[in-house]
């Protein structure tokens, strides 16, 4: 089967799984709501206004991770993967179509989400955000959308390795909630290169550390690429 029909088939699967609609809706509502709350609170003089406006991305990424995990784990229920590979025998071909079908809606929803979250938070911040340049605002909105998409694909690749959405969520969610916020403050600069910690530099107007906004996002992209390569290897080498 050519790539376009395979991609169309995978897109149909995404459209027919109602739980995936719920995760994308949760991404939009949770991110926007938390950013709106942050923007409405009293802002201290030394607060980073860009991070405040986009702080909803931190809880919202849980929904993005869930979307990636559920989209792939559905293939491991009731022999669905065997049927998929009967239709598309070239396993690498199929996995590429699956990843693309996940990435496109994830990116589009992430862009809509970060735009909405920034807009509502920016309105609440008022003069506190007046110092943000147009470039910083665009960088924050676009970069945070790319970050959410990369975390979605990281979860998708890991799920292909673990063959379980529950296992992926049990690993990644505590990782982003515990390692970054607890261990990250005590373990020194090593944690700056973790996939979530590195990518989150893009959320800040000012930043200190080894990585900048785009180099941090590049580190997250490398983690995501490694997970996808591992996922592709698992699909190609292991029994369906």
pLDDT of residue 181: 67
Res 164 pLDDT > 70: yes
Residue 229 binned pLDDT confidence (cut-offs 50, 70, 90)? very high
Domain ranges of the chain: 3-237
Task: For residue 9, count CB atoms less than 10 angstroms from its CB and return exposed for 0-12, middle for 13-18, buried for 19 or more.
Answer: middle
For residue 97 the two structure tokens come to 């179509």
Place of tokens 């373990």: 187
Asked whether 60 and 34 are in contact (CB, 8 A), the reply is yes
Query: What phi and psi values does residue 221 have, to the nearest 5 degrees?
Result: -60, -35
Give per-residue pLDDT as tens, 201-212: 999 998 887 899
Q: How many CA atoms lie within 13 A of 108 on its CB side?
A: 5
What sign has the CA pseudo-torsion 124, 126, 132, 135?
positive
The span from the CA of 156 to the CA of 201, in Å, is: 23
Give per-residue pLDDT as tens, 71-88: 999 888 867 778 777 777
The span from the CA of 41 to the CA of 125, in Å, is: 8
Q: How many CA atoms lie within 13 A of 99 on its CB side?
A: 25
pTM (whole model) above 0.85 = yes
């Amino acid at each position: 089967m050519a790539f376009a029909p395979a991609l169309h088939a995978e897109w149909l699967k995404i459209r027919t799984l109602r739980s995936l609609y719920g995760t994308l809706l949760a991404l939009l509502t949770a991110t926007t709501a938390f950013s709106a709350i942050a923007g409405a609170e009293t802002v201290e003089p030394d607060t980073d206004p860009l991070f405040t406006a986009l702080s909803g991305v931190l809880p919202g990424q849980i929904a993005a991770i869930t979307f990636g995990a559920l989209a792939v784990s559905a293939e491991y229920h009731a022999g669905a993967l065997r049927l998929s590979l009967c239709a598309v025998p070239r396993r690498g071909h199929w996995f590429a179509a699956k990843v693309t079908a996940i990435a496109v809606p994830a990116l589009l929803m992430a862009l809509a989400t970060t735009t909405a979250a920034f807009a509502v938070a920016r309105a609440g911040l008022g003069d506190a955000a007046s110092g943000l340049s147009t470039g910083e605002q665009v960088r924050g909105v676009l970069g945070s959308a790319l970050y959410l998409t990369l975390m979605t694909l990281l979860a998708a690749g890991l799920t292909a390795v673990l063959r379980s959405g529950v296992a992926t969520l049990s690993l990644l969610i505590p990782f982003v909630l515990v390692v970054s916020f607890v261990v990250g403050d005590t373990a020194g600069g090593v944690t700056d290169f973790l996939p979530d910690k590195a990518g989150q530099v893009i959320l800040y107007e000012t930043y200190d550390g080894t990585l900048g906004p785009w180099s941090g996002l590049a580190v997250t992209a490398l983690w995501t690429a490694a997970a996808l390569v591992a996922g592709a290897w698992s699909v190609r080498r292991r029994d369906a």
